[in-house]
Structure 1
């Protein structure tokens, strides 16, 4: 069985002390492919330090909406240079975040549109962060969609209607730890949306799934998310692993 974590920040300092154990548990859980979204310029450089003979890593390039203020004015050419690299499979993560502050919303929106342009220019999918900004995010994607924009709503927590709208706009849905929280309502929503538009992700070290909620997240927990999704859709774990891995490979155009 092959499982794929399409969104993991394994390069962060939270994994420095026990990275070999994290690798071991990932392999034991069946994780063979891990996708690494960037947060800022420095995180992209750290991705090259990740190596394991049984895990394939895929890099992305982008500026997280909460990092936009730190790098403004935005170096659009630097983003273009990174996104055009052959070893980069996705653009992001980008998006909007109104939770921490709304002081830099205009710059976040400008950054998001820049990332959309890079995604369309390179033919690579965009990875979208969304926190308390769903309407604005989907409205911008609608405006930027010219038939060439693909991507994923990372950490999907929307309603059924919002999920369907995102799919209609050409997006996949990233199913993560929140889908295992019984009181969040996301599990019921996920059960009503199509599997062929879903990919699995941990967002490690964040958003740890039940029953480990509150602890550091890691790639091996993707199996818990897959098991929960299997239960929600009445499928076997093997079927979920096959479908979501196929979806991820097709979206990011990897073999």
Structure 2
């Protein structure tokens, strides 16, 4: 399996990273994709290794980091993202949940990430919290047919999901999808599997039945199982299809 969104480099994993990676390998993880929070995330990603897992890096500035004064010029972001070992741009996006005082700064950062993603022809990773309409409007304005990417941690409506797909993006299916009271499973049931991929967002948003615990890549099996139930397919078929989609989007070797 492929975890398409994981923050293994964060301090929550410092004390037992070797055990976390062993559990990931035992659960069948072959690849772990890591979006950045700031550029400082990148050296930490380089410290991760396991003989049975391939680690992949992305570069970008998280919208809540923009609130904290972290910014990237288009030139600087491009210099990072053009590197061969960077497979994606982000994570970027919008987050008005904690504060809407930085809307303009977040929106400009998102546009910078979009332009760089198109320039380097790599997928963009979109964080969205309490900002769906603005996010999709900006993507619509920036889409010239060459922008690809993922609405990470998809939790929108069926209409929003279809609009996202029509804009050329994929849907990241993670822990919230498994929560009984979230209703995301009912939405996902109505959307095409060939536009979805699995993710954890570890250490955040652990899926049921691990909800409330620190999330980790091995827990992706619970999301895969629930997605198989919703789609009426065998788990191995869901794993195969979502892996195939992720490998194609990010240009990963099989």
TM-score (normalised: structure 2): 0.98
Following TM superposition, by how much is the alpha carbon of 1:71 offset from its aligned partner in structure 2, in angstroms? 4.0
Question: 1:240 corresponds to which residue?
Answer: 238
Using CA pairs under 8 Å that are at least 6 residues apart, name the structure with larger relative contact order, 1 or 2.
1
Matches within 5 A, 1:215-230: 215-230=213-228
| C-alpha distance in 2 between matches for 1:61 and 1:122 | 12
**Hey, what does 1:210 align to over in structure 2?**
208
Match of 1:41, SS state, is: coil
Which SS does the other structure have where 2:87 is aligned? strand
Matching residue of 2:79: 81
* Deviation at residue 72 of structure 1 after TM alignment: 4.5
Establish whether residue 195 from structure 1 lines up as the match of residue 202 from structure 2. Answer: no
Unaligned runs of 5+ in 1: none
CA RMSD of aligned residues (A): 0.8
C-alpha distance in 1 between matches for 2:122 and 2:81: 8
Question: CA–CA distance in 2 between the matches of 1:100 and 1:127?
Answer: 20
Query: Distance between the aligned counterparts of 2:6 and 2:37, measured in 1?
Result: 11
Distance in 2 between residues matched to 1:100 and 1:90, nearest whole Å = 26
Q: After superposition, what is the alpha-carbon deviation per residue over 1:149-185, rounded to whole angstroms, capped at 9, x for unaligned?
A: 0000000000000000000000000000001001100
CA distance in 1, matches of 2:21, 2:93: 29
Aligned residues: 253
How many Å apart are 1:41 and its aligned residue?
1.4
Structure 1-normalised TM-score?
0.98
Output the CA distance in 2 between the equivalents of 1:74 and 1:199: 28
In 1, distance between residues paired with 2:44 and 2:72?
Answer: 21
Give 2:174's aligned residue: 176
